[in-house]
């Protein structure tokens, strides 16, 4: 008999860790893997281990609602998010791996006068930054998303910020594509291996202790999202980060009914339709710190109740699955890509509710920072901004209730 599901080559190796690497990256989420990939591709550094306590892509990278956009307000954000969005355009070809990038358009609804003014401002800022967005009126909103009730009694749709080349991608394919490319370059991806301590001497990192033994390194890069505070603690420094649960849910699959992504930030919820036909829905963060990778139950009800007013047809759908991830949130809702108090240790975290879209740009920038000690894309995102009061306020652009 012909067996179709046998004889597949492994996409990446599962090696035994070496005693020492030039660079160790802690965390095989999208950001850690992309950092490794661009270290190899752009800087020729391939003596790299990516150490993952679970399975690669099993953190927030494999749990998010996959929205990709670059319609942020501040210049440093526009630069890194647009770099990322543009790298998504060619990622499948670059990695020779189909990440199903679908630039179907992202629409952020304005349902209060305050939001109208806020998003008009963002559209002007984006024009100056070279990011293509536009503010559109309610009739155009209805045209591009006919299932929407724009005349809702409490929150009629007054317009929206539209980014036509925003969209979605297959989240775990992004992790898998980078992982295969890293492995092909000779890098070691060590899964089921938790970093339990960071070894230091003379203000430098010398290596890490892990559940598979001690491993030395010349440089360490911590990229562990919701666990950032904990791992930074192992390295002896503190972060201005809170870890909270963010959750999402999907409905039963239905025929194609919506070919854009909508974020409705006032009623609060975001919505897209997957290629399988499921309606992918996301809610706000829980209001308390937590490490359990599951969201609280009342969010399911609150999110769906809020969305039903703007999307009445959702009320007839059965919800199939709900899950959560632990997101690492900073006070200004912008990420940290930074040197640390330890000379050869770097940290990439604080992407909070919005880092999937940033994966390639973040990896590109972080690799440059690790390889050269500076990068124009990371310059404003250092830890020092919290001491100096140079915040990069993106609380509106984050689009998710915190």
The Cα–Cα gap between 398 and 331 comes to 12
Q: How far is the CB of 292 from ligand PYC (least distance, A)?
A: 19
Is 270 near ligand PYC (CB under 6 A)?
yes
Which DSSP symbol is given to 286? E
The SS3 assignment for 31 reads helix
Is 67 near ligand PYC (CB under 6 A)?
yes
Tokens 């937590």 locate to 290
- Residue 163: in which H helix or E strand, if any? strand 159-163
Is 282 near ligand FAD (CB under 6 A)?
yes
Picked from ligand PYC, ligand FAD, none, the partner binding residue 265 (CB below 5 to 8 A depending on kind) is none
Of the two residues 31 and 333, which places its CB atom closer to ligand FAD in the complex?
31
Of the two residues 231 and 367, which places its CB atom closer to ligand FAD in the complex?
231
Of the two residues 58 and 382, which places its CB atom closer to ligand FAD in the complex?
58
- Residue 182: in which H helix or E strand, if any? helix 171-184
- Residue 115: in which H helix or E strand, if any? helix 113-129
In angstroms, the Cα distances linking 77 to 230, 243, 287 are 26, 21, 25
Is 357 near ligand FAD (CB under 6 A)?
yes
Which DSSP symbol is given to 186? T
Is 65 near ligand PYC (CB under 6 A)?
yes
Picked from ligand FAD, ligand PYC, none, the partner binding residue 247 (CB below 5 to 8 A depending on kind) is ligand FAD
Q: How far is the CB of 11 from ligand PYC (least distance, A)?
A: 27
The Cα–Cα gap between 276 and 395 comes to 32
The Cα–Cα gap between 304 and 7 comes to 44
Q: Answer whether 370's CB lies under 8 Å from 218's CB.
A: no
Is 133 near ligand PYC (CB under 6 A)?
no
Picked from ligand PYC, ligand FAD, none, the partner binding residue 51 (CB below 5 to 8 A depending on kind) is ligand FAD
Task: Please spell the DSSP secondary structure of 318-358, one letter per residue.
Answer: PEEEEEEEEEEE-TTS--EEEE-SSTTEEEEE--TT--GGG
Of the two residues 148 and 193, which places its CB atom closer to ligand PYC in the complex?
148
Q: How far is the CB of 354 from ligand PYC (least distance, A)?
A: 3
Q: How far is the CB of 215 from ligand FAD (least distance, A)?
A: 12
Region binding ligand FAD by CB under 6 A among candidate stretches 6-14, 21-29, 40-48, 298-306: 21-29
- Whose CB is nearest to ligand PYC? 354
Picked from ligand PYC, ligand FAD, none, the partner binding residue 399 (CB below 5 to 8 A depending on kind) is ligand PYC
The Cα–Cα gap between 29 and 35 comes to 10
Residue numbers of the site for ligand PYC (CB under 6 A)?
Answer: 65, 67, 69, 263, 270, 282, 353-354, 399-400
């Amino acid at each position: 008999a012909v067996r179709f599901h046998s004889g597949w080559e492994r996409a990446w190796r599962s090696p035994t860790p070496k005693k020492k690497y030039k660079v160790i990256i802690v965390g095989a989420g999208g950001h850690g893997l992309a950092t490794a990939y661009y270290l190899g591709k752009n800087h020729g550094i391939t003596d790299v281990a990516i150490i993952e306590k679970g399975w690669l892509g099993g953190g927030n990278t494999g749990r998010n609602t996959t929205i990709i956009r670059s319609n942020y307000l501040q210049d440093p954000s526009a630069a890194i998010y647009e770099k990322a969005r543009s790298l998504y355009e060619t990622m499948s070809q670059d990695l020779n791996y189909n990440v199903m990038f679908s630039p179907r358009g992202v629409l952020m609804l304005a349902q209060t006068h305050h939001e109208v003014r806020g998003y008009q401002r963002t559209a002007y800022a984006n024009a100056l930054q070279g990011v293509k967005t536009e503010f559109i009126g309610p009739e155009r909103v209805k045209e591009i998303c006919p299932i929407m009730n724009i005349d809702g009694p409490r929150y009629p749709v007054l317009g929206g910020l539209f980014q036509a080349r925003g969209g979605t991608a297959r989240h775990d394919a992004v992790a898998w594509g980078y992982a295969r490319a890293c492995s092909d370059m000779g890098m070691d991806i060590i899964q089921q291996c938790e970093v339990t301590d960071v070894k230091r001497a003379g203000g430098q990192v010398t290596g890490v202790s892990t559940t598979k033994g001690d491993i030395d390194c010349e440089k360490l890069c911590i990229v562990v999202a919701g666990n950032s505070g904990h791992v930074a603690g192992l390295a002896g420094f503190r972060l201005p980060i809170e870890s909270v649960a963010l959750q999402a849910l999907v409905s039963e699959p239905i025929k194609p009914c919506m070919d854009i992504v909508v974020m409705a930030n006032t009623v609060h919820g975001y919505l897209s339709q997957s290629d399988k036909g499921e309606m992918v829905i996301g809610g706000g963060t829980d209001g308390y710190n937590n490490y359990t990778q599951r969201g609280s139950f009342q969010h399911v009800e609150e999110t769906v109740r809020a969305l039903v007013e703007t999307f009445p047809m959702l009320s007839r759908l059965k919800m199939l699955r709900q899950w959560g991830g632990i997101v690492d949130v900073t006070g200004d809702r912008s990420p940290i890509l930074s040197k640390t108090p330890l000379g050869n240790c770097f940290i990439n975290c604080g992407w909070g509710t919005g880092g999937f879209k940033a994966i390639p740009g973040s990896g590109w920038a972080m690799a440059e920072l690790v390889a050269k000690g500076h990068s124009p894309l990371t310059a404003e995102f250092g830890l020092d901004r919290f001491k100096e009061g140079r915040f990069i306020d993106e609380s509106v652009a984050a689009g998710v209730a915190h």
